[in-house]
């Protein structure tokens, strides 16, 4: 129960980073923290107490393995989600570099040429 | 087993990775190859449509050859087949247009790579039946669209792309959190298996899942509390990208998800209709009013898109046969007309270099053919008979009156009058005025006029989908999917 | 290496990198190849391979790294990796459905046991390695343009 509360806390820290911070680099870090929190929620949902990793060693029967292994499906989903978040971060980092060249600043309060 | 269901996605992915290998330096050849591949994909989707619309049955496909409940499920039914045909057709016309438009951009071959990736993502969403598969294709389309919005590398485009990326990341997170909650409650991600287990869950759990998914898809569909990214992104992107985003992306990536949620997956929860009606009314009114004060023509068209998507949300919220028929016809006609308008203003920008309505005056004298096409598109969106939009707005208003909401019907008529108002004002000030500076206004090149003419014909004749003979074979089957189908009935063999 | 070479880091770092770099590459390749038996697979192995090349970039400078892996070859490897993965998926059609595992599966717990799994891992390892390498090169070769008192100064900040 307490682990889910901690994951929710991490989601709120990430959201705070995106909404309240003005520097583009801090917004990118906030997005990364939000991504980590979501992936952590997936992994925690598949956990079993005193479980083993979902890789069959050579000396175990299949029934015993199915009983004690943690769930491997969320781990596959999290791999894909990590790659997607990597794509977001790489694109935003390149965008931040180009914007510094055009606007001269990283401050989103000063990057306001589009109005209305 | 009909193997042609995978071919749209495979063609686009293969083409997107073949282009940098072979045609990275030659822009014209890259454009021709892209147009050929989109046309091939359009033919495949018409072939699928012939099978699906004549028999009225779904095509189900399990990738990987595993037994029935395992394996990734793909499905094409009349609703997704309709969207597939429209998407590939308009994408083919936009690809032909952008051969001429990208002559002013450098490294145009990479434009086509991103174009094919965004189409691969959109087609993938339309054929998947597995929730995580939908999420992965959603992300492919989104990331490709962020880069396309920033493609010209001017300062305003970068700022628009930044805003769009950050807001869209929250949409992705909402959908991923919804997936995590679905997995936590039911232990499966296949839609059919999820619905069978979810029949036993308490109502509050289903509301929570529905709320997360609806927030994610509504951000992409630009319904009103979540519309903040749309005016910047659609006004600052290059013209074929604006046409692709406003005409197809909002509907396929955002609104198609809301249609599936509201009718097939969570159809038993009545509160979703109230929420959709509220969002629809707010979008309609706000989009219409904000479009009056805009100087940038593309920004005016972007606010008009918000208004028209509001109409679709109202139709979906009302429900019933007439409501769903109006929604589908409105999506089809608006896709044709809005793409035509964005391509048109792109042609004007290509020849004169600006989209500011203060600086452009009297385009009719020097660019008569472009002006005629623009008038067609604007009358289309405003809803003048015999265009397709007129019939769809009429059907939505009738369905509102029939379901017992006369106030909403009156509001729809009022916003239609407001839409006609700002388009007439635009035509009077920009197009049919005395020409001020005619030096740079020459007629647009024919490589741009040809796709726009085809789109204009399609927008004018979209109403023939309502003739009873034709309607019973394609639109009726799609509406039947929205009304009667529930994912719980699909046979996945356990 | 001549003695007046001032790019990259000091001689100690260069010497150690020359010893360690092949081991990093072998470690990455083994993560890719044994992806169906141990944790790892295509993506994780590709990231380790990129790490090896970034080590070369930092220690020796970009001229030497571009002699070992030119940018054109990295771009081609990127596309070949993705197309190879798509071909493996399409060849599954010969066995019945899309993505079918059509290769003969060997004995359990040996290197050749997953069928198409090992081939897919190799393709993804190649693609991720070269794509991340190109991304890091692009991000680090940016040239900053300072706007200072109305004049534009161009100051190049390449990896020395």
- The pLDDT-based confidence of C93 (bands split at 50, 70, 90) is confident
For B388-407, write each residue's pLDDT tens digit. 888 899 999 999 999 888 89
At C107 the pLDDT is: 73
DSSP string, B342-382: HHHHHHHHHHHS--BTTT---HHHH-HHHHHHHHHHHHHHH
- B119 has pLDDT over 90: yes
Which chain C residues are within 8 Å of A83, Cβ to Cβ?
Answer: 43
Count residue pairs from B and C with Cβ separation < 8 A: 45
* In contact, A106 and A96? CB cutoff 8 Å: yes
- Mean pLDDT for B464-486 is 79
For A95-111, write each residue's pLDDT tens digit. 998 888 888 888 888 88
* In contact, C31 and C40? CB cutoff 8 Å: yes
- B198 has pLDDT over 90: no
- Among the listed residues A34, A98, A74, A47, the one whose alpha carbon sits nearest the alpha carbon of residue B168: A34
- Mean pLDDT for B145-154 is 90
- Mean pLDDT for B352-375 is 80
More confident residue, A47 or C113: A47
Going by the DSSP 8-state scheme, the letter that residue B415 receives in this structure is H
Task: Report the length, in residues, of chain B.
Answer: 494
Distance between A68 CA and the closest CA of chain B, angstroms: 17
Specify the 3-state DSSP secondary structure of A63.
Answer: helix
All residues at 6 or more sequence positions from B473 whose CB lies less than 8 Å from its CB, including other chains: B53, B54
At B494 the pLDDT is: 56
Among A88-97, B198-207, B334-343, the range scoring the smallest mean pLDDT is: B198-207
At C157 the pLDDT is: 37
Percent of residues in chain B assigned helix, strand, coil, to nearest 5: 80, 5, 20
Query: Given B3, B17, B20, which is nearest C93 (Cβ)?
Result: B3
Contact check, Cβ <8 Å, B139/A113: no
Specify the 3-state DSSP secondary structure of B265.
Answer: helix
- C92 has pLDDT over 90: no
- Among the listed residues B16, B47, B45, the one whose alpha carbon sits nearest the alpha carbon of residue B33: B16
Question: CB of A55 within 8 Å of any CB in chain C?
Answer: yes
Contact check, Cβ <8 Å, A101/C109: no
Phi-psi region of B26 (alpha: psi -120 to 50; beta: other; left: phi over 0): beta
Question: CB of C135 within 8 Å of any CB in chain A?
Answer: yes
* In contact, B341 and B297? CB cutoff 8 Å: no
Contact check, Cβ <8 Å, A94/C43: no
Establish whether the linkage from the previous residue to B386 is cis, with ω within 30° of 0: yes
- Please, what is the average pLDDT of chain C? 81
Q: Please, is A49 exposed, middle or buried when counting C-beta atoms within 10 Å of its C-beta (0-12, 13-18, 19+)?
A: exposed
At B242 the pLDDT is: 92
Contact check, Cβ <8 Å, A55/C37: yes
- The pLDDT-based confidence of B319 (bands split at 50, 70, 90) is confident
- B360 has pLDDT over 80: no
Going by the DSSP 8-state scheme, the letter that residue B439 receives in this structure is S
- Mean pLDDT for B14-42 is 90
Distance between A109 CA and the closest CA of chain C, angstroms: 18
At B230 the pLDDT is: 92
Q: Distance between CA B60 and CA B336 in Å, rounded?
A: 30
- The pLDDT-based confidence of C151 (bands split at 50, 70, 90) is very low
At B438 the pLDDT is: 59
At C103 the pLDDT is: 73
At B493 the pLDDT is: 61
For B396-441, write each residue's pLDDT tens digit. 999 999 988 889 999 999 999 999 998 888 888 887 777 666 556 6
Query: Given A41, A91, A92, which is nearest B180 (Cβ)?
Result: A41
At B271 the pLDDT is: 87
Query: Given C82, C90, C101, which is nearest B17 (Cβ)?
Result: C82
Q: Distance between CA B398 and CA B391 in Å, rounded?
A: 10
- Please, what is the average pLDDT of chain B? 87
Best of C71, C77, C78, C79 to substitute, by most chain B Cβ atoms within 10 angstroms, is: C79
Which chain A residues are within 8 Å of B215, Cβ to Cβ?
Answer: none
Reported as type and span, the H/E element at residue B72 is strand B72-76
When computed from its CA atoms, the radius of gyration of chain A, rounded to whole angstroms, is 20
Q: Quote the tokens at residue B140.
A: 């492919």
Cα C142 → chain centroid:
20
Which chain C residues are within 8 Å of B76, Cβ to Cβ?
Answer: none
Which chain B residues are within 8 Å of C43, Cβ to Cβ?
Answer: none
Beta bridge partners of C153: C146
At B93 the pLDDT is: 94
Distance between B6 CA and the closest CA of chain C, angstroms: 8
- C154 has pLDDT over 70: no
Which chain A residues are within 8 Å of B179, Cβ to Cβ?
Answer: 77
Which residue in chain B has the smallest CA separation from A87? Answer: B143
For A7-25, write each residue's pLDDT tens digit. 999 999 999 999 999 999 9
At B278 the pLDDT is: 93
- A64 has pLDDT over 90: no
- Among the listed residues C71, C89, C84, the one whose alpha carbon sits nearest the alpha carbon of residue C126: C84
Beta bridge partners of B22: none
- The pLDDT-based confidence of B342 (bands split at 50, 70, 90) is very high
Q: Quote the tokens at residue B155.
A: 């300062």
Task: Report the length, in residues, of chain C.
Answer: 160
- B381 has pLDDT over 80: yes
- Among the listed residues B306, B331, B469, B461, the one whose alpha carbon sits nearest the alpha carbon of residue B396: B331
Among B21-25, B218-222, B396-400, the range scoring the smallest mean pLDDT is: B21-25
At B442 the pLDDT is: 74
- C149 has pLDDT over 50: no
For B304-313, write each residue's pLDDT tens digit. 999 999 999 9
- Mean pLDDT for A48-52 is 82
At B440 the pLDDT is: 61
Q: Distance between CA B328 and CA B326 in Å, rounded?
A: 6
- The pLDDT-based confidence of B83 (bands split at 50, 70, 90) is very high
- Mean pLDDT for B129-135 is 88
Phi, psi of B327, rounded to the nearest 5 degrees: -60, -50
Which chain C residues are within 8 Å of A111, Cβ to Cβ?
Answer: none
Which chain B residues are within 8 Å of A114, Cβ to Cβ?
Answer: 156, 159-160, 232, 235-236
More confident residue, B92 or B72: B92
At B368 the pLDDT is: 82
Among B68-82, B319-333, B334-348, the range scoring the smallest mean pLDDT is: B68-82
Contact check, Cβ <8 Å, C76/B21: yes
- C13 has pLDDT over 80: yes
For B234-250, write each residue's pLDDT tens digit. 988 999 999 999 999 99
More confident residue, B315 or B352: B315
Give the neighbours of chain C: at least 3 Cβ pairs within 8 Å.
Answer: A, B
- Among the listed residues B413, B382, B412, B419, the one whose alpha carbon sits nearest the alpha carbon of residue B291: B419
Contact check, Cβ <8 Å, B169/A31: yes
Q: Distance between CA B30 and CA B35 in Å, rounded?
A: 9
More confident residue, B443 or C58: C58
Name the percent of chain B lying above pLDDT 90: 43
Name the percent of chain C lying above pLDDT 90: 41
Locus of tokens 């909401």: B405
Specify the 3-state DSSP secondary structure of A86.
Answer: helix
- The pLDDT-based confidence of B343 (bands split at 50, 70, 90) is very high
Give the neighbours of chain B: at least 3 Cβ pairs within 8 Å.
Answer: A, C
Which chain C residues are within 8 Å of A101, Cβ to Cβ?
Answer: 142, 144-145
- Mean pLDDT for B452-480 is 82
Q: Distance between CA A81 and CA A93 in Å, rounded?
A: 18
């Amino acid at each position: 129960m307490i682990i889910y509360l901690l994951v929710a806390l991490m989601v709120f820290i990430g959201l705070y980073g995106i909404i309240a911070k003005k520097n583009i680099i801090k917004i990118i870090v906030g997005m990364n923290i939000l991504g980590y929190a979501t992936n952590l929620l997936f992994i925690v949902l598949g956990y079993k107490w005193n479980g083993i990793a979902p890789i069959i060693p050579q000396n175990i029967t299949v029934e015993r393995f199915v009983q004690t292994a943690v769930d491997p499906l969320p781990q596959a989903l999290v791999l894909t989600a990590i790659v997607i978040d990597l794509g977001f971060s790489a694109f935003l980092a390149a965008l931040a570099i180009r914007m510094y060249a055009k606007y001269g600043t990283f401050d989103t309060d000063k990057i306001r040429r589009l109005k209305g | 087993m009909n193997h042609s269901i995978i071919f749209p996605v495979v063609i686009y992915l293969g083409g997107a990775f073949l282009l940098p290998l072979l045609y990275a330096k030659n822009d014209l050849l890259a454009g021709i190859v892209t147009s050929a591949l989109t046309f091939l994909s359009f033919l495949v989707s018409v072939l699928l449509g012939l099978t699906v619309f004549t028999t009225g049955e779904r095509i189900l496909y399990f990738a990987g050859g595993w037994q029935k409940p395992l394996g990734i499920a793909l499905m094409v039914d009349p609703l997704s087949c309709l969207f597939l045909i429209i998407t590939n057709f308009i994408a083919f016309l936009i690809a032909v247009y952008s051969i001429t438009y990208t002559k002013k951009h450098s490294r145009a071959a990479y434009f086509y790579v991103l174009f094919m990736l965004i189409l691969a993502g959109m087609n993938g969403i339309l054929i998947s039946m597995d929730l995580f598969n939908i999420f992965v294709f959603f992300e492919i389309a989104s990331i490709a669209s962020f880069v396309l919005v920033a493609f010209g590398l001017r300062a305003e485009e970068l700022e628009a792309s930044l805003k769009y990326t950050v807001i869209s990341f929250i949409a992705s997170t909402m959908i991923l959190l919804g997936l995590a909650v679905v997995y936590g409650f039911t232990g499966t991600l296949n839609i059919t298996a999820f619905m069978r287990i979810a029949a036993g869950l308490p109502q509050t759990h289903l509301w929570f899942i529905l709320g997360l998914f609806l927030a994610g898809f509504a951000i992409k569909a630009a319904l009103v509390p979540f519309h903040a990214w749309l005016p910047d992104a659609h006004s600052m992107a290059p013209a074929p990208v604006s046409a692709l985003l406003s005409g197809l992306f909002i509907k396929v990536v955002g609104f198609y998800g809301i249609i599936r949620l509201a009718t097939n997956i969570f159809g038993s929860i009545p509160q979703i209709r109230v929420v959709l009606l509220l969002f629809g009314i707010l979008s309609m009114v706000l989009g219409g009013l904000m479009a009056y004060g805009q100087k940038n023509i593309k920004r005016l068209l972007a606010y008009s898109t918000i208004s028209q998507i509001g109409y679709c949300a109202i139709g979906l919220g009302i429900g019933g046969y007439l409501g769903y028929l109006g929604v589908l016809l409105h999506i089809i006609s608006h896709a044709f007309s809005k793409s035509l308008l964005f391509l048109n203003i792109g042609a004007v920008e290509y020849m004169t270099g600006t989209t500011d309505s203060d600086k452009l005056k009297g385009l009719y004298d020097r660019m008569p053919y472009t002006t005629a096409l623009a008038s067609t598109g604007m009358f289309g969106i405003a809803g003048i008979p015999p265009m397709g939009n007129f019939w769809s707005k009429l059907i939505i208003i009738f369905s509102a009156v029939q379901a017992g909401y006369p106030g909403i019907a009156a509001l729809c008529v009022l916003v239609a009058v407001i839409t006609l108002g700002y388009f007439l004002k635009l035509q009077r000030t920009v197009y049919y005025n005395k020409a001020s500076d005619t030096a740079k206004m020459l007629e647009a090149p024919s490589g741009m006029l040809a796709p726009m003419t085809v789109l204009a014909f399609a927008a004018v004749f979209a109403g023939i989908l309502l003739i009873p003979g034709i309607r019973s074979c394609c639109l009726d089957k799609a509406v039947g999917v929205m009304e009667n189908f529930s994912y719980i009935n699909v046979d996945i063999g356990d | 290496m001549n003695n007046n070479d001032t790019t990259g880091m000091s001689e100690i770092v260069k010497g150690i990198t020359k010893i360690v770099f092949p081991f990093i590459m072998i470690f990455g390749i083994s993560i890719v190849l044994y992806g169906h038996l141990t944790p790892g697979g295509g993506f994780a192995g590709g990231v380790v391979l990129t790490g090896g090349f970034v080590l070369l970039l930092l220690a020796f400078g970009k001229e030497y790294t571009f002699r070992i892996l030119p940018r054109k070859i990295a771009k081609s490897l990127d596309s070949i990796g993705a197309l190879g993965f798509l071909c493996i998926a399409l060849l599954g059609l010969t066995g019945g459905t899309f993505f079918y595992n059509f290769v003969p599966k060997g004995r359990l717990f040996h290197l050749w046991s997953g069928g198409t799994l090992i081939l897919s891992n190799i393709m993804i390892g190649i693609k991720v390695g070269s794509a991340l390498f190109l991304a890091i090169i692009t991000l680090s070769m940016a040239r900053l343009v300072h706007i200072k008192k109305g004049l534009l100064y161009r100051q190049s900040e390449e990896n020395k």
